A and B are shown apart, each in its own frame.
Chain A
Amino acid sequence: MLLKDTENGYGIVSRVLHWAMAVGIVALFALGWWMVGLTYYSPYYNSAPALHRSAGIILLALLILRFAWRISNPKPHDRELSPLERKASWLGHWGFYPLLFVMMVSGYLISTPDGRPIDVFGLFSVPSLFQQKGLEDAAGFVHEMSAYAVMILAAVHTAAALKHHFVDKTTILTRMWSGPPPS
């Protein structure tokens, strides 16, 4: 099984990271949306945010790993795209990294500016690095706005992938699922 990406397609590491993070990010958006409306006496009032924080930290680790993997691997070709699509695709893909990073770090900063660490599934904890009173308010605003921005970009990304698959009949979508075609 091909680990690394090649000129022809994505290796298993990139594909697993792509789909795991796609599911994780959308799920955490939904969880975050739902959990902020919970009543105080909901049985999930504490456990839902705990799951959101834990999974968010894991996603941040995956994001860093994925960025390192991306810059140290060849980029699969985009020959099937028009010049305009190529520019938009470049912008969209590189837009994801800073946007996701800002979203995840701002989430971390909501929970930690009072010195409390974030417990990750009871396995380990991430310490508080920046302590400043009131930082949680600014972090909360940035977290919410960047989360909406990520969802909008993800929707555009999905629409583009479906268009390349169903309208343009390219291999763009299938190679992210099945890897490079046998050569």
Chain B
Amino acid sequence: MKLKFSALTLLAATFALTAPASAGNYLIDTKGAHASINFRVKHLGYSWLVGRFDTFSGTFSYDDKKPEASMVSVEIDTKSVNSNHAERDKHLRSADFLNVDKNPKATFVSKSVKPNGDGKATVTGDFTLNGVTKEVAIDAAYIGGGDDPWGGFRQGFEGSTKIKLADFGITKDLGPASTDVELTLHVEGVRQ
């Protein structure tokens, strides 16, 4: 009787170890909008102007045993820029800023992931904006993951980076305090 119990326990423990293994490819849940890409830029140096890109898609691969092998790829529809002001959004889409007719997509494709411990990592990759590709480093953090209540399996991260607008050919002068833009990504992926 005691032996049988142990065997069951062992069996259960084995399942417990294998079941939540996270290795796999994940589709960023933009369909359910459990993901967002936000930006903020100083206004006159007096406050933060916050906006977002409403439309984007992406995937990532992640294995909690080998986080350094993770990859992420995101494509942003630049026309979907939304700063909650129609006139400003029109201006942001124009050639003064995102030039969306000429450059309808912005992309990020990771090249390397360097785990920094404690669920943190530096994700380096190519960021393409306004037709210009430059390497950027994203400070990423693991938020959580596991089974969802509907039969799926999810992992979530956040990441942030700072870019200089002029580096991407956006030279409209917004003042000395407003040369850089901070980008923040919140992504939840559903394992495929």
Which positions in A face B, CB cutoff 8 Å? 39-41, 49, 110-114, 116, 133-137, 140
Residues of B near A113 (CB, < 8 A) are 86
Residues of A near B84 (CB, < 8 A) are 114
With contacts A134-B79, A137-B93 known, is A111 near B173, CB below 8 A?
A: no
Which 7 pairs between the two chains have the least Cβ-Cβ distance? Answer: A114-B86, A136-B86, A136-B90, A113-B86, A40-B174, A140-B90, A137-B90
Residues of B near A39 (CB, < 8 A) are 173
With contacts A137-B93, A140-B90 known, is A114 near B173, CB below 8 A?
A: no
B79 touches A111 (CB 8 A): no
Contact size range, B? 10 to 19
* Complex alpha-carbon distance, A112 and B85, angstroms: 9
A110 touches B87 (CB 8 A): yes
Residue ID in chain A nearest B54 by CB atoms: A133
- Is B68 an interface residue, CB under 8 A from the partner? no
Of listed B82, B86, B87, B174, residue having the most chain A CB within 10 A? B86
In the complex, which of the residues B86, B93, B172, B175 contacts A111, with contact meaning CB atoms closer than 8 Å? B86
In the complex, which of the residues A40, A41, A110, A116 contacts B90, with contact meaning CB atoms closer than 8 Å? A110
User: A40-B172, A140-B90 are known contacts; what are 9 more A-B pairs with Cβ within 8 Å?
Assistant: A39-B173, A40-B173, A41-B173, A114-B85, A114-B89, A133-B54, A136-B86, A136-B90, A137-B93
A112 touches B175 (CB 8 A): no
Residues of B near A49 (CB, < 8 A) are 87
27 A-B residue pairings within 8 Å (CB atoms):
A39-B173, A40-B172, A40-B174, A40-B175, A41-B173, A41-B175, A49-B87, A110-B87, A110-B90, A111-B86, A113-B86, A114-B84, A114-B85, A114-B89, A116-B85, A116-B86, A133-B54, A133-B82, A134-B79, A135-B86, A136-B86, A136-B87, A136-B89, A136-B90, A137-B90, A137-B93, A140-B90
Among B85-105, those with CB < 8 Å from A are 85-87, 89-90, 93
Min CB distance B78 to A, Å, is 12
* Complex alpha-carbon distance, A59 and B38, angstroms: 39
Residues of A near B173 (CB, < 8 A) are 39-41
Residue ID in chain A nearest B100 by CB atoms: A137
Residue ID in chain B nearest A132 by CB atoms: B86
Residues of B near A135 (CB, < 8 A) are 86
Min CB distance A131 to B, Å, is 9
Min CB distance A67 to B, Å, is 28
Min CB distance A136 to B, Å, is 4
Residues of B near A134 (CB, < 8 A) are 79
Residues of B near A112 (CB, < 8 A) are 86
Residues of A near B87 (CB, < 8 A) are 49, 110-111, 136
